[in-house]
A and B are shown apart, each in its own frame.
Chain A
Amino acid sequence: MKLNIEGLLVYFPYDYIYPEQYSYMLELKRTLDAKGHGVLEMPSGTGKTISLLSLIVAYQKAYPLEVTKLIYCSRTVPEIEKVVEELRKLMEFYTKETGEKNNFLALALSSRKNLCIHPEVSSLRFGKEVDGKCHSLTASYIRAQHHSNPSQPVCRFYEEFDAVGRQVPIPSGIYNLDDLKDFGRKKGWCPYYLARYSILHANIVVYSYHYLLDPKIADLVSKELAKKSVVVFDEAHNIDNVCIDSMSVNITRRTLDRCQTNVDTLQNTIQRIKETDAAKLREEYRRLVEGLKEANVARETDIYLSNPVLPDEVLQEAIPGSIRTAEHFVGFLKRFLEYLKARLRIHHVVQESSPQFLKDIYEKVCIDRKPLRFCAERLRSLLRTLEIADIADFSPITLISHFATLVSTYSKGFTIIIEPFEDKTPTIANPVLHFSCMDPSIAIKPVFERFQSVVITSGTLSPLDIYPRILDFRPVTMASFTMTLARTCLCPLIVGRGNDQVAMSSKFETREDFAVIRNYGNLLLEMSAIVPDGIVAFFTSYVYMENIVASWYEQGILENIQRNKLIFIETPDAAETSMALEKYQEACENGRGAILLSVARGKVSEGIDFVHHFGRAVIMFGVPYVYTQSRILKARLEYLRDQFQIRENDFLTFDAMRHAAQCVGRAIRGKTDYGLMIFADKRYARADKRGKLPRWIQEHISDGSLNLTIDETVQLSKHFLRQMAQPFRREDQLGLSLLTLEQLQSEEMLEKISQIAQQA
């Protein structure tokens, strides 16, 4: 259908529309009009992605000079591919309606592992190996060597792309990862470099967060993207952690040992080159003296990992004299390494700030701040000069150099914690140096500053106002949308007690209590008898799940559950869990029914949807608080309190509730779907917890569904499931939660729609 969104003609590739989609598009348009940033929360399964795409594409078509590019960031590879497929649907609709050929170029970009078509390289299993092998075939000096010595292997796909691929832009169309590969195979071009090159003139780019938020990668990939772009972060409820992770470094003793080997290799290589080809080193020295910027000369394939700090922090001056020659630099690295080793030899926990660390290093080994800042840059130059093929081997020394650069660049927002042993095992020495970022706004700041509109959206962003605070930006629109429902297809229940009236809680004091564990087991057992097909249960942590499973096994609860359903359990091993997941789906598919025991904050809870019969009930055992005893977390909480005036408890509860909402939200993926959401902890009944759940869940929690016993829960669930199992037709939805174009245009409906969005 064609919609009129405040004067903008929007093509929407479906015959019907949800009211909230319309409302969402209105808010989005206002954000774009204002050229500002927005925070939008809309329940999962209400067609967020297609609404976003429809509106922004329409905007781009209507005002090609205002918005030149859409950068769509999602979290996982399947998500990225889904977005591109939805986009394809939209574009097909455009072609059908307007009759003209689509002149849009949209493509997905992913790592080499997902795009490589070189037969040998792509058969490697891990992303790091693929990257390393690719580098060893495409680095400029390798290619130069190939020139003089044809037996030196190079990648024929890259050669072909380099020779002709850049002259003619890729024909317009929608390219998913597989399409890029097919296109690459057809032309004999490298799809990865083709995609990286093509994002510069593409209308729509879909890739993962890291390409924009991780400065090491963003500098390589996203540096030249136009300012007049709209950036969308989908599934953004965890964006602060992505930001923090990209700028934090951990150093263990093992890292340092491997570094030592790296440094030795470097030294030997320098020695060798000095004897054979001293001119090369002299050339490098000359270049450094002149202060030529590395980026200007380096080819795209040479840069393995870029500078870890943000572009505006990278110094625009020549590398200081003390580390200009290769030997001096290696000596410098050695000293730095020895210093770190000495620091790790302590027997008590140390926490200090960056300036303290710098002061200490200056006093102990006379290392200045300035050369440290250039460490990453200088190492990169050296590795390139030495023509080291297998760069993956040098990741420890790269890590150290990044640490050096980061610690000397940022004086605020970071903390250094050195722990000589793990808390659980104080007798076993395992020293770790955590250099952790505490301020997510550091990494995302350039994104907000550079692009005209940044939209942060997800199914669970409550409470909305906390995101602008921790990410430090001023949004022009903040809205939370509810799900209009013709039937209440979600049923959140808060179970607070067992049938024996013992309170259920994963609270630290009672979590090992037998009564609690038994009650949790009884809850699962009872539910397994009444819920059809799949049940997903989430625990607060992996260790807790292990303990509970063990005691359930001892008490024979698991065996009783097995009478009703098969049991699958998430393990720390991703491959094993994938298999369990697939078997779980198989068991749901063939009618046997299954239970998946999983962990909040785990991979399953973050990336896997349980549509329809794959998840008829989600049980959240306990409140998934983060492990609060960790020093890093404590430091971060302190920082949040001091800098953003966010109280520790508020943040912890917010963090726990967003993960709980994420977990239970996995089950509802649309209006035809239905599912139980069982919060098995009495603390959920409290207003401060309940209030932090997304509005679309909160509004279905009635006072009657607080602090239930297991029996009551079973009764309510039975009732709910029986109701939901009735046939659900389009006519039931039409006019309420599903609209035709005529219905949408009626005054009354527009009035109603305006109430869907709740401004924060």
Chain B
Amino acid sequence: MAALSEEVLLVVKRVRQRKQDGTLYLMTERIAWGPEGKDRFTVSHLYADIRCQKISPDGKSKIQLQLVLHTGESTTFHFANESTALKDRDAAKDLLQQLLPKFKKKANKQLEEKNKMLQEDPVLFQLYKDLVVSQVISAEEFWASRLKLSSVEHSLSNNSKQEVGISAAFLADIRPQTDGCNGLKYNLTSDIIESIFKTYPAVKQKYAENVPHNLTEKEFWTRFFQSHYFHRDRINTGQQDIFSECAKQDEKGLKSMVVQGVKNPMVDLLSLEDKTLDEGYGSLTVGPNSSKTVKENSNSAIIKRFNHHSAMVLAAGLRKVILVYWKFNKFYPELNLLFMNRDAPSDQASETSSTDGNSRDSDFFQPPIKKVKLQEAIEYEDLQNGSGPKTIALNLKKSDRYSHGPVPLQSHHYSTSQDIINSVSCIQEEISCYKPCLTRVMPSSAASSAITALSPGGLLMQAGTQQAVSQLVPTDVQSELKHLYTAAGELLRHFWSCFPVNTPFLEEKVVKMRSNLERFQSTKLRPFQEKIQREYLSTNLTSHLDEMIQAAYNKFHAWQTRRMARKT
């Protein structure tokens, strides 16, 4: 039944669904269909559930509209009113076209993603069951750090769905058709528009500037197709054309690309020749060809445009990748991997500009790439015996920090490498002048008892004979223990991630986390401990878990007392 609050936007009669006549209703939030003569809807879809709509081609005898849902199901409506079928269908289609995008954004993308993650990752799913289902922590808390983490991880490991590139022929897909009265009709889809924007940012800018203040969307695209910009062989003449500026920008972009030069020295045609003949020598006369015809000019314009177009399509696909690299760089500034130098222009630009503006300094970046390329070029893989796996060179800016790791400042004094070298040499020196003092050695009986004590089974080697946990503990307990470990680890991760506590939000969280930990201990850990006690297994199975939790408690306690002290 249609709820009272729902406003019916469109009613189409004589619409068939599964060979049954009926009426189609388009309402504010859903689309519904009821069979003739009945007062209920047999089909009803929320707009948010609909992925897209499809229509039958114009020439077909049956005039249909198909709705594809996110779940993959689809529903087909057949417009059966002979005289107005096409009009009905188009009306429904247009209305849907307007409605669907509004709901698209609402569709809970995150939920989908979470679902997917849980499905893909059994460990995570178990964790979820352990922590959220058993109400140790709330779902939000569980996801709060997960999603953020996962998005980075995913983009790095390229697990996530790859960005779909742009078809090089997207302009060709706009097939102009004659509409019968000396006009042309272009079919534009949102995909094509997006491709145009991505490939030609200048057009996007123009669009933002002019639509809808100066032009309607339709006018904008009409002008676009009329412009010389779209027709690559036409030469830029008109000034009133809004796209002439785009062309100029493109030209500039192309020029700047050319001026930037290429990074791979093996394809740099400019530096290919070692000693070019001076002007005037040589037998070939490639004089300045000033007398180019218009035709030739337009031909070379086409060639330029094609190069530019391909470069832009390529760049549009790469932009995303660079962004990830850049992000990655931000996360791990020390690891400035070599291959990134090549792809992340932003990085390199900042690098060169920082070195007192001397442009030649980019020279220092060049050799590695050049060396690599040269080595690649002279390599005969089949002549060599198994060359080792290709490694990526680390390009460390501060090797010190890398090798010593992040060390807390207040930590005790650690030895510098010089100290270590000194002490090593010191020891070496001592060893070199070491002389065994044979008069003061141990009696042989003491020595032999020490050896027995240290042999397997001896006094001091008891632990060595112990059987591994895997042999002592039944598998079900093992797996339970594993789950406990992951769950505890997850909780502790949440707990420790709160430190240093410097915002009220974190304060709140850390308190909550402590109570979560306590709850975990009481609802999960204790029963487990009791269980293994009942089964007479050694209780130190969980001692490490206890220790970890205890450490967290201690930390919490210390933090709390400090806070109290500060407050009073």
Contact = CB atoms under 8 A, between A and B. Distances in A.
Interface of A: 14-18, 47, 49-50, 76-78, 80-82, 85-86, 89, 110-111, 113-114, 119, 122-123, 127-128, 178, 207-208, 210-211, 214, 217, 241, 244-246, 248-252, 255, 305, 395-396, 399, 422, 424-425, 428, 430, 432, 434, 436-437, 546-547, 549-550, 553-554, 556, 558-560, 562-563, 565-569, 571, 573-583, 585-587, 590, 592, 594, 603-604, 607-609, 632, 670-672, 730, 733, 738
B476 to A, nearest CB: 45
Interface residues of B, number: 71
Nearest to B283: A248
B261 interface: yes
Nearest to B267: A581
B267 A244 contact: no
Nearest to B274: A208
Interface string B317-338: 1100000000000000000000
Given A14-B384, A122-B360, A583-B310, A249 B280 contact: yes
21 contacts: A14-B383, A15-B384, A78-B377, A81-B370, A119-B358, A123-B359, A178-B367, A245-B284, A396-B280, A399-B281, A549-B299, A550-B233, A559-B169, A559-B172, A560-B172, A575-B258, A576-B258, A580-B307, A582-B262, A590-B318, A607-B272
Given A78-B272, A569-B307, A733 B382 contact: yes
Given A122-B360, A252-B280, A575-B269, 5 more contacts: A78-B272, A210-B274, A214-B275, A607-B269, A671-B382
A560 B168 CA distance: 10
A448 B380 CA distance: 33
A582 B259 CA distance: 14
A114 B273 CA distance: 11
Interface of B: 165, 167-169, 171-172, 232-233, 254, 257-259, 261-285, 287, 291, 295-296, 298-300, 302-304, 306-307, 310-311, 313-314, 317-318, 358-360, 367, 370-371, 374-375, 377-378, 380-385
A82 B306 CA distance: 33
A178 B370 contact: yes
Given A581-B262, A586-B314, A608-B267, A569 B303 contact: yes
B382 A546 contact: no
B285 A434 contact: yes
Contacts of A579: 257-258, 261-262, 307, 311
B261 A562 contact: no
A569 B268 CA distance: 15
B294 to A, nearest CB: 12
A688 B262 CA distance: 41
A77 B280 contact: no
A608 B370 CA distance: 15
B281 A571 contact: no
Nearest to A128: B278
A78 B311 contact: no
Contact of B300 (A18, A546, A558, A562): A546
Given A207-B274, A569-B306, A15 B383 contact: yes
Contacts of B304: 571, 576
A111 B283 contact: no
B175 to A, nearest CB: 10
Contacts of B268: 578
Contact of B380 (A47, A76, A82, A603): A47
B299 A76 contact: no
Given A89-B378, A245-B283, A425-B291, A78 B265 contact: yes
A246 B281 contact: yes
A428 B267 contact: no
B314 A587 contact: yes
A96 to B, nearest CB: 14
Contacts of A580: 307, 310-311
A127 B276 contact: yes
A185 to B, nearest CB: 11
B81 to A, nearest CB: 39
Contacts of B313: 566
Contacts of A562: 167-169, 172
B383 A16 contact: yes
Contacts of A245: 277, 281-284
A652 to B, nearest CB: 16
Contacts, number: 231
A217 B277 CA distance: 11
Contacts of B380: 14, 47, 50, 670
Given A432-B285, A562-B168, A395 B232 contact: no
A86 B378 contact: yes
7 residue pairs, one from A and one from B, having the closest CB atoms:
A559-B172, A562-B169, A208-B274, A14-B383, A563-B169, A566-B310, A562-B168
A578 B383 contact: no
Given A119-B358, A560-B169, A562-B169, A208 B314 contact: no
A355 to B, nearest CB: 21
B405 to A, nearest CB: 33
B367 to A, nearest CB: 6
A18 B261 contact: no
Contacts of A576: 254, 258, 304, 307
Given A560-B169, A738-B382, A111 B281 contact: no
Contacts of B264: 582, 585
A568 B307 contact: yes
A253 to B, nearest CB: 11
Nearest to A182: B367
Contact of A111 (B167, B275, B314, B381): B275
A672 B285 contact: no
A77 B273 CA distance: 6
Given A549-B303, A576-B307, A77 B384 contact: no
B232 A553 contact: yes
A82 B280 CA distance: 31
Nearest to B171: A559
Nearest to A545: B303
Contacts of B371: 178
A76 B272 contact: yes
Contact of B383 (A17, A208, A430, A434): A17
Contact of B271 (A77, A211, A395): A77
Contact of B277 (A16, A114, A246, A607): A246
A212 to B, nearest CB: 11
B261 A575 contact: yes
A217 B275 contact: yes
A14 B383 CA distance: 6
Contacts of A547: 299
A47 B310 contact: no
Contact of B314 (A128, A395, A566): A566
Nearest to A21: B383
A567 B311 CA distance: 9
B560 to A, nearest CB: 54
A638 to B, nearest CB: 15
A113 B270 CA distance: 12
A583 B370 contact: no
Contacts of A559: 169, 171-172
B3 to A, nearest CB: 48
A462 B302 CA distance: 37
A436 B233 CA distance: 39
Most chain A CB within a 10 A radius of its CB, from B261, B296, B383: B383
Nearest to A428: B291
B267 A85 contact: no
Contacts of A556: 172
Nearest to B315: A583
Contacts of A123: 359-360
A70 to B, nearest CB: 18
Contact of A578 (B262, B284, B291, B300): B262
Contacts of B284: 245
Given A76-B274, A178-B367, A571-B300, A553 B172 contact: no
B303 A571 contact: yes
Contacts of B385: 15-16
B367 A582 contact: no
